[in-house]
Amino acid sequence: MTKTITVDDLKSLLNVIAEAMTRERDRLCELDGVIGDADHGIAMELGFSAAAKAVAALDSATSDPTLIFNTAAKAFLNAVGASSGPLYATALMRAGAAAKGKSFLTEDDMVDVFVALARGFQDRGKAEIGEKTMVDAWAPAAAACRAAREKGMSLEACLSEALAAAEAGTEATKDMVATKGRSSRLGERAIGHIDPGAASATVVVSCFKALFLS
Ligand code: ADP
Ligand code: MG
């Protein structure tokens, strides 16, 4: 059966992500401690908690998906001082733009929203695949999701493909030298370590998938 994604589903999605970030906070901080400044888990927890709280305060009866994503973006940006703040805020705004004019999302719309979200990180941070950033998880996840949809797969199956691609992309950051962000200062010393932003992106993708399990 095809799914319809409502404003309340999107509120739940943000809640599920916020809870996952609380669970993953210490692991993400540890990853960032190795090649950055050890705050990534805190940033992601603060950002998504603020986003989930802000959208919970909206009246579902008078809200649409665009308002949910834009409100989440603003709350995330205000809560987070680290570089993940503007990256997630831009991505969430792009998701909002992709949902424009719709009162709920179809499975096709959700694929468009997911792809727009993923693209937002690249537009904001100007990183390409292979630069050891969250883009190494988001870009392949979006591509896999789109390709799966074009093959006629269900939203859940598309998000499973996206998650597998995000996991593989995150693992691949281990062998990379960073050329963007704080860890670019480390040069070759970053080799052997997973990028924290790619790891947290994979957590976000896993929450999308979890929400749309039939
Ligand atoms: P900060 O580096 O300011 O402490 P965070 O710790 O919250 O910020 O986030 C670090 C993550 O941000 C990195 O692991 C990387 O994935 C991501 N990142 C940094 N710069 C960029 C960029 N230009 N484009 C995409 N992602 C980036
Ligand atoms: Mg950091």
Pairing of strands 105-106, 4-5: antiparallel
The amino acid present at 18, given as its one-letter code, is: A
pLDDT score at 122: 97
Asked if residue 131 has its Cβ within 6 Å of ligand 1, the reply is no
As beta bridge partners, residue 197 has none
Nearest ligand atom owner, CA of 122: 1
Kindly report, residue by residue over 78-114, the tens digit of the pLDDT. Answer: 999 999 999 999 999 999 999 999 999 999 999 999 9
Domains identified in the chain and CATH numbers: 7-212 (1.25.40.340)
pLDDT score at 6: 97
Q: CA separation (Å) from 68 to 6, 43, 138, 159?
A: 10, 20, 21, 21
| Nearest one of 123, 114, 65 to 90, comparing CA atoms | 123
- Tell me the CA–centroid distance for residue 94 and ligand 1, in Å: 18
- Residues 193, 64: Cα–Cα separation, whole Å: 40
Residue of 80, 133, 203 best suited for mutating to test ligand 1, as the one with most atoms within 8 Å of CB:
133
As beta bridge partners, residue 4 has 106
Residue identifier of the C-alpha nearest atom 27 of ligand 1: 133
In this structure, the dihedral spanned by the alpha carbons of residues 32, 197, 157 and 208, taken in order and rounded to 10 degrees, is 90
Kindly report, residue by residue over 17-67, the tens digit of the pLDDT. Answer: 999 999 999 999 999 999 999 999 999 999 999 999 999 999 999 999 999
pLDDT score at 187: 87
Q: Is the pLDDT of residue 214 over 60?
A: no
CA end-to-end span of the chain: 9
Predicted TM-score (pTM) of this structure = 0.98
